A and B are shown apart, each in its own frame.
Chain A
Amino acid sequence: DTAVSQTPKYLVTQMGNDKSIKCEQNLGHDTMYWYKQDSKKFLKIMFSYNNKELIINETVPNRFSPKSPDKAHLNLHINSLELGDSAVYFCASSQNGGRETQYFGPGTRLLVL
């Protein structure tokens, strides 16, 4: 009965590889987000989708490409991984176009070697 789930929980990979992280929510929310939390624990928004449409796109390298196949899923694909991409990536969801509280998934810990 997990509300917001992410896979994988841990991801260790080499520089230059391409990887994907998946997120699913069963809360019936219409808005989903990707955040990056760096080593200094600063949590920063990357993208947001409302009903499968991109509504927030922060200054993120275009190696990062989100995809929302339906409003319950938001995936993040990262091309040509770099050392600086190492961080924890959190998915979140909320209702009513982002006007309600955001609920976070457990995070994906990405380590690029």
Chain B
Amino acid sequence: GQNIDQPTEMTATEGAIVQINCTYQTSGFNGLFWYQQHAGEAPTFLSYNVLDGLEEKGRFSSFLSRSKGYSYLLLKELQMKDSASYLCAVRCMTTDSWGKLQFGAGTQVVVTP
């Protein structure tokens, strides 16, 4: 089975940096995704890592270490609109699952003025 852990909630101030950690135990690992979900809305794609290292996209960066089963999402220069749930999702490619995404429970980020 798959096991994906991330903190339940994090609070940070506008303009600050927040790092959301995600650890996973899975078989057939084939990529890790981060999605952002505002309350009452659909998850929207933020980033994708399949090789070890850092991927940077504007204010958001994501890091992956496959040997440690670990990823983080870094949000810089926080804005009020960044208040949302951030979902870590692991893709598994096995004989009976085609690109199946397993999601963590999400980390609720609260940005305060």
Q: Is the CB of B45 within 8 A of A48?
A: no
Known: A42-B103, A43-B87, A101-B33. A56 touches B98 (CB 8 A): yes
Which of B16-24, B36-44, B56-64, B72-80 forms contacts with chain A? B36-44
Q: Within 8 Å CB of A17, what residues of B?
A: none
| Tier of interface size on chain B | 20 to 34
| Tier of interface size on chain A | 20 to 34
Closest chain B residue to A33 by CB distance? Answer: B101
Closest chain A residue to B35 by CB distance? Answer: A104
Q: Within 8 Å CB of B99, what residues of A?
A: 31, 94, 97-100, 102
Q: Is the CB of B98 within 8 A of A104?
A: no
Contact mask B67-111 → A, CB, 8 Å, 1/0?
A: 000000000000000000101000001000111111101100000
- Would you give the shortest CB distance from B47 to chain A, in whole angstroms? 10
Known: A48-B98, A50-B98, A56-B97. A106 touches B42 (CB 8 A): yes
Q: Within 8 Å CB of B106, what residues of A?
A: 41-43
Known: A40-B105, A41-B105, A42-B105. A103 touches B45 (CB 8 A): yes
B interface residues (Cβ-Cβ under 8 A, vs A)? 30, 33, 35, 37, 41-45, 48, 85, 87, 93, 97-103, 105-106
16 A-B contacts (beta carbon < 8 Å): A31-B98, A41-B37, A42-B106, A43-B103, A48-B98, A48-B100, A50-B98, A56-B100, A94-B99, A97-B99, A102-B45, A104-B35, A104-B42, A104-B43, A105-B42, A106-B42
